[in-house]
Amino acid sequence: MSTVIETRGLGKKYGRRWALRDCTLAIPAGQVVGLVGPNGAGKSTLLHLAVGLRTPTLGVITVFGGRPADSPAQLGRAGFVAQDTPVYARLSVADHLRMGAWLNPDWDGELAARRIERLGLDPHQRAGSLSGGQRAQLALTLAIAKRPGLLILDEPVASLDPLARREFLQDLMEIVAEHEVSVVLSSHLIADLERVCDYLVVLIASQVQLAGEVSELLAEHRRLSGPRRDPGRLPASQEIVEETHTDKQSLLLIRTSEPILDPAWAVTPVSVEDLVLAYMRRAGSAGGARRPGLEVVS
């Protein structure tokens, strides 16, 4: 599998605090990848390192095999939409596009102009007076018009209302349909990620707890409920992600690629949201101790 982002033992320290520590992961190319995890997991730091806004304290990060922001060509390969989609409040929409054209060697002015027109933005309007949704669309326009191979978005829809959020994601997916671009998107809104992502990475305390294609993750996880039972006696092919027991009943979330044959279990599918929450709780109940990643994407 070819990758867009790879890290090995990556660490970033702000003052005396490690924001990211010993992070090793590989993010596949040609997909829309969702990055989820609790606050403080290091998601934003990882994305900032990937676009070269920060430099690592330790370890290595590569984007398309090269150091981020190493050269103008390398800079052009990643487009970035930062958290809350910041724009220059006093500059007009047209000013933003002109700036994009000055700063980016491969700027696609036609694409930018077409998008602004289709989105119904007034080129003379100051960015400061745009709605949250329009601001996000402008930031996305700037990022895509540099024609990057990788688009990185850090919580792009967190501050948008549900309708603006849906419109933004729809727009983003249309971009994916039109251009050959890999996308890495961080969000707390897991239901949104389930819609738009084909690959999911769950990052907790700098460690990858779960990574894989969304459709495979859904196919492999099942909730079992039935009479109380000793979890040690489950088939070896069933990995327990989460378990709750009462004196009579056992409720399990398991990962397996085999069919579940035991007729005593009632078996139901698990949504992506429940899945992510279960892995987060599992990492949390390890006492905040740093655990090795369950799986390293390869």
Partner 1 sequence: MIEFALDEGSGVATYLQLAQQVRQALRLGMLEPGERLPTAQQVVARLAINPNTVLKAYRELEREGLVRARPGQGTFVLRALPGTDPAVQARFLASMTGWLRSARAAGLGPDDVEAIYHTAFRDCFAEGVA
* Binding residues for partner 1 restricted to 200-219, rule: CB under 8 A: 214-215, 218-219
Is residue 225 involved in binding partner 1 (CB under 8 A)? no
14 φ, ψ to 5°?
-105, 110
Side chain identity at residue 219, one-letter code: A
Answer whether 121's CB lies under 8 Å from 130's CB: yes
Rounded CA separation 206/222 (Å): 26
User: Out of 84, 95, 108, 198, which residue is the one contacting partner 1 (CB under 8 A)?
Assistant: 198
Residue 297 contacts residue 26 (beta carbons within 8 Å): yes
The stretch near partner 1 (CB under 8 A) out of 47-55, 191-199, 202-210, 284-292 is 191-199
Determine which helix (DSSP H) or strand (DSSP E) holds 193, and give its type and residue range.
helix 190-196
Q: Is 177 in the site for partner 1 (CB under 8 A)?
A: yes
163 residue type, one letter: L
Minimal distance, residue 138 CB to partner 1, in Å:
19
The phi-psi region of residue 147 (left if phi > 0; otherwise alpha if psi is between -120 and 50; otherwise beta) is left
Q: If binding means CB under 8 A, how many residues of this protein chain bind partner 1? A: 33
Question: Binding residue for partner 1 (CB under 8 A) from 40, 162, 269, 284?
Answer: 269
Restricting to residues 19-58, which ones interact with partner 1 according to CB under 8 A? 31-32
**Position of tokens 């890495």?**
184
Q: Which is nearer to partner 1, 39 or 257 (CB)?
A: 257
In 3D space, the residue among 17, 25, 31 whose CA is nearest the CA of residue 60 turns out to be 25
169 binds partner 1 per the rule CB under 8 A: yes
Among 84, 95, 243, 274, binds partner 1 (CB under 8 A): 274
Residues 116, 118, 120, 124: is their CA dihedral positive or negative? Answer: positive
> Which residues lie closer than 8 Å to 286 by C-beta, 6 or more apart?
none
Nearest distance, CB of residue 258 and partner 1, angstroms: 9
> Please, what is the minimum distance in Å from the beta carbon of residue 270 to partner 1?
5
Is the CB of 89 or the CB of 266 nearer to partner 1?
Answer: 266
Residues at the site binding partner 1, with contacts judged by CB under 8 A: 31-32, 166, 169-170, 173-174, 176-178, 191, 194-198, 214-215, 218-219, 259-261, 263, 266-274
